[in-house]
A = this chain, B = another copy of it.
Amino acid sequence: MICGRTQNEAIQEIENFHGFVAPGLLIGAFMVDLLYEHLDKGVEADAIVETRQCLPDAVQIFTPCTVGNGWLKILDLGKFAITMFDRNTFEGYRTWLDLDKARAHPDVYNWFMGLVSKKDLPKEILLPAIMAAGKAILSINKVNVVQYGKRQGKGDIRVCENCNEAYAASQGSPCSACQGNGYYKPVP
């Protein structure tokens, strides 16, 4: 069982949400499972992931935390790690893929470190290797979250004098997009 699902159910949910069974997301499912083993039952736990790749979806599939409800935050630290913590006390656990442990599972290690091509290590080999490794490649530590742990409110809304759209007043004036941080050009 992973996160209360059979292996097949977990894989089906990953495919439905993520579009395909990403190896990193399957490891992420084991990470969430390990976190819930350590967290006290009934704790309202928020989550922080340390990379934008794969792990946000593991949290969004297997916990109540999503980006849009604000219970999941994504930090760009470039690490394959998830922290879940009591939203009231900020105490919780951080789990990460431990290289020293992963070396005992060469297919997983080589994939993770980018040492082997997709052609030489197809998913038909890699995914069962991840399933076999399970939580044996993970470490976990108790932590206090000292930053980014608080949920953010909506804040004040203002209308931009330039584009006439509503925006978060905290962005300054005019709105951030009109300050030059936009990403698109209109097509006439």
Contacts and interface: CB of A to CB of B under 8 A. Distances in A.
A86 interface: no
Contacts of A27: none
A186 B142 contact: yes
A53 B112 contact: no
Interface string A141-172: 11111111100101011010000111110110
A64 B19 contact: yes
Interface string A1-45: 000000000000000011110100100000000000000000000
A77 B171 contact: yes
A145 B68 contact: no
B184 A83 contact: yes
A94 B71 CA distance: 26
A51 B172 CA distance: 15
Contacts of A19: 64, 66, 69, 71
